[in-house]
Each structure stands twice: as C-alpha cells, then as structure tokens.
Structure 1
Amino acid sequence: MTLDPSIREILSGISTATLTTVLLKKGLRNVWLRGTRPIRTGQPRLVGRAFTLRFVPAREDLATPESWSSPISTRAAIESMPEGCIAVVDAMGITDAGIFGDILCARMHKRGVAALITDGVVRDIAGVLGTGLPVWCQGVAAPPSVAGLTFVNWQEAIACGGVAVFPDDVIVVDDDGAVLIPKGLLDEVVAIAAEQERLEGWIMGQVEAGASLPGLYPPNAENRARYEAEK
C-alpha cells in the first residue's frame, strides 16, 4: 500500500515528539520504538509505510551461513521491499549480532527503501554509512546475524523496540527516534498533529517574545483566542 504523497509531506514537517503527544491524547502510549537511534547525525525526518521483518533466537540447525541462500532469508525479503517503504526489523533487542551489513543495506538503498529501523544492531559500519541508507538502530556489532538470531519471515506483525508493528502501519523517524502511527488512525492523527505543530510554533514565538508559560502552554481561553485570531 503506497502512502499518499500529501500525507508524507505533512508528516515530514511534524516532529516525532509532537506525534507522541497526539497519540497519547488518543490513548496510545506505546508508540515510540525503543532503541531506535540515528546511526549518524543529520539524517532527515522520514515517513513511510512499515515493511516488517522478524528474527527469533538463534537455533543452531537453522541459524547458519547456508540459511542466507534459503527462500526464507533477509535477501529474499529485501527483494520484496517496495520503493519508499521503511524496513522495520524485530531483532528482539539483541546487540551482539548485526542483522544487516553493507551489501544488504546497499541493495535496500538501490531499491529505494527509505530507511532501516531496528531494535538490534548493524555490522560493517563504515560500509553501511557509505551506502547512504538512513539507519536507526542500537549500535554496531561485528558478528553476523546468525551468531545470535534466526530470520523467520517478513510482512507479518512484529514487536520492535517493545511496540507492536503491523505491515503498512506508518513510521515517522527523526533525531528523537521512530514513532508508529496505526494505519487505521492515520488520517485523524495527521489532521490533529498538523494543527498541534502550528499551535506549538505559535507558542514558541510567544515564549521567544518573553511570555511566561502559565496560561500559554497549554493555552487558556484567552491565549487560544489570540492564537485563532492570528492563525
């Protein structure tokens, strides 16, 4: 399922901090994917549909280098990734086995994948950085994935960073990490978040002009009326 370009544009201007607040008001507290830190500074805010991949604990008869040639492999999953998607990988928080290295990341970048998000780690860090693929993860480790994980499937429900992620949910990721927007709530959240971002921009302008916070953040009736008049 492709993401409407207008929605992508709107969400590209909304911080993950704002989105977590909006989702909290909708009753969703567990939407920030723990451990998803940018692999380099200056990565842009990105928006895309989730393409999910799942690992389970390593089992010696399955987690072998030979498994990389299996029809059920990370290699096969990458060839199924549509342009513009964000790959979200459940690595169970394992930090001593790199799920992807430079070659796999290079292929993802060539296929137009927007970003890689995982609660695990990557390997071949210099090469991964060289591919240009934006990555959010918990760090790096030299050992390959099969040293600690068994790849089992893609495009099914996963848990990444303690968050339930379903295929085609929307991911927004920036310097504060990755936030999930359930696909069924997308239109509503986008509308509310866009207005929240405008309001907070106005509040920041008032603070920079010397205004005090009580009655401003959050705005009381008087300040809300001023905002509406100036909007």
Structure 2
Amino acid sequence: MNTNHGIPMQLDARAVDILCGITTATLTTLLLKKGLRNVWLRGARPLRTGQPRLVGRAFTLRFVPAREDLATPESWSSPISTRAAIEDMPAGCIAVVDAMGVSDAGIFGDILCARMQKRGVTALVTDGVVRDQAGVLGTGLPVWCSGAAAPPSVAGLTFVDWQRPIACGGVAVFPGDVIVADDDGAVLIPAALLEEMLLLAPEQERLESWIMSEVDKGAALPGLYPPNAENKARYEAAKKAGP
C-alpha cells in the first residue's frame, strides 16, 4: 500500500524549518499565483487552537460510504483496516483522511490517535470527525478535523485503502504532497511545487512584513498593497539596508 511514486515520505529539516515560518494564508496566495485555487482543505479545523504550525508529507487514507456487510466491528481486524494503515505510517508524516465530510461517525478515537502519536506521526488532518474528543486531546496528537461525534467509524463509513490519491475537504491529495496546518486550517502544496514554494514563501513573508510596518506608520494602501514600482523600489532599498 505504501505508494508514493518515489517521493521520500520525510521532509528534510530545511523544508520543515522554512515552512513552519510561513502562514497558510501566504501559501494560498502564492499557490493562487501559480494557478492553484483549490488547496485549502475544507472542514479541517484545529481541534485545539494555538498549536504550533505543523508541516509534513501527506500519508493518505480513504473511507467510502458504509456498506453493512463490510462496515462492521469485525472489519477492524482485517488486513485492510485503519489499524494496519497506522502501522504503515512513517514518523514525520501527516495523516490525511478522506472521510467524505461525514460528521456523525468518528474516524479515530483516543487509542488510534495515541498509537499514531507513539509512531511519531506529526498530525491528523481530516474532513471528518473524531470520537473520544477529550481522550484524543489527551494523546497530544495535533488534530485538524470538523468536530467530534460519539459513534464509531463503521456506523457511517467503510475504510478501503491507504497511500492512494484521495479527496479531502474537496482537495485532491496525493501521497507525498506537503501539508501545512495552522489555526487557519490545512493547506496542500503539491510535491512538485515544494522547492519553488521554499524559495518564494520566505520572500513573500518579508514583503508583507514590510508592508505591515508601512501601514503601522500610517501609509495608505493603494500602491502599497500590492506594491507599485515606487514601493517595490523602497522595499528593495529597505532590504539592502538591513534591520
């Protein structure tokens, strides 16, 4: 099942360090400039706000609608199960789960999240919900989801696969794509665009920080945000002058 098209599932420390300093808002702007409008995973909100920004390669899991002969408690012991998928998760990945936005069956509870945390999984991101919310929070595993529900996954979903392309929150997610998650939600960076984002994103953050400093000084927005030629020249001069 571990299909990632040759992409290493662990990001190098440089990429993690850079992206942990870039907001998801900045990333969506940069990706929009590249023509990608659909990169924000709908329904994936932080279960606990104020967590550090987290970054990792996507390890994908997929549910389909429940079918009574397959979605049973006995299925949890199947070789194709969420339990087996968790044992395949490498340290540093972000588990991205397609739950089709189902909100009345929790995909994972405290025990599964505890195992993910023990395996070094960076975070869980899903368009579905979790169960045992207090227990999940207690595991320390950072979670982005659409809420909590008491019923187990098999009450509304059938688990079918992992490490295949999925749709999570209306976004196409391939194994090995990069996920950045913060209080604004979770954003996908296609694997092929990672290096370009690592170059562009820090510069965009620096520019916006300079623009904010100009706003704090009372500058008007027209010609400043976005900057016209005059303000671009002022920004470049400020960069050269240093702090």
What is the TM-score of this pair, normalised by structure 1? 0.99
Matching residue within 55, 67, 82 for 2:63: 55
Q: Could you say which residue in structure 1 is the equivalent of 2:76?
A: 68
Superposed CA offset, 1:89-113 (max 9, x none): 0000000000000000000000010
Matching residue within 198, 214, 219 for 1:190: 198
1:10 and 2:18 matched: yes
SS at match of 2:100: coil
**Deviation, structure 1 residue 180:** 0.3
Matching residue within 212, 223, 227 for 1:215: 223
Superposed CA offset, 1:160-219 (max 9, x none): 000000000000000000000000111012211111111001101111111111111001
**Deviation, structure 1 residue 42:** 1.1
Ranges in structure 2 where 5+ consecutive residues have no aligned partner: 1-7
1:181 and 2:189 matched: yes
What is the TM-score of this pair, normalised by structure 2? 0.94
Q: Could you say which residue in structure 2 is the equivalent of 1:100?
A: 108
Identity %: 81
Q: Could you say which residue in structure 1 is the equivalent of 2:142?
A: 134
1:28 and 2:36 matched: yes
Aligned partner of 1:64: which letter? T
Q: What is the rounded CA distance, in whole Å, between the counterparts of 2:149 and 2:130 in structure 1?
A: 6
Q: What is the rounded CA distance, in whole Å, between the counterparts of 1:45 and 1:52 in structure 2?
A: 20
Q: CA RMSD in A?
A: 0.5
Matching residue within 165, 168, 180 for 1:172: 180
Q: Could you say which residue in structure 1 is the equivalent of 2:3?
A: none
Q: Could you say which residue in structure 1 is the equivalent of 2:5?
A: none
Q: What is the rounded CA distance, in whole Å, between the counterparts of 1:216 and 1:116 in structure 2?
A: 38
SS at match of 2:63: strand
Matching residue within 135, 152, 156 for 1:148: 156
Q: Could you say which residue in structure 2 is the equivalent of 1:83?
A: 91
**Deviation, structure 1 residue 36:** 0.6
Aligned partner of 1:59: which letter? R
Aligned partner of 1:28: which letter? L
**Deviation, structure 1 residue 130:** 0.3
* Runs of 4+, deviation exceeding 3 Å: none
Aligned partner of 2:201: which letter? A
Aligned partner of 2:222: which letter? P
Superposed CA offset, 1:133-170 (max 9, x none): 00000000000000000000100000000000000000
**Deviation, structure 1 residue 4:** 1.5
Q: What is the rounded CA distance, in whole Å, between the counterparts of 1:43 and 1:131 in structure 2?
A: 14
Aligned partner of 1:185: which letter? L
**Deviation, structure 1 residue 41:** 1.6
**Deviation, structure 1 residue 55:** 0.2
SS at match of 2:222: coil
Q: What is the rounded CA distance, in whole Å, between the counterparts of 1:156 and 1:22 in structure 2?
A: 26
Q: What is the rounded CA distance, in whole Å, between the counterparts of 1:4 and 1:126 in structure 2?
A: 33
Q: What is the rounded CA distance, in whole Å, between the counterparts of 2:224 and 2:155 in structure 1?
A: 53
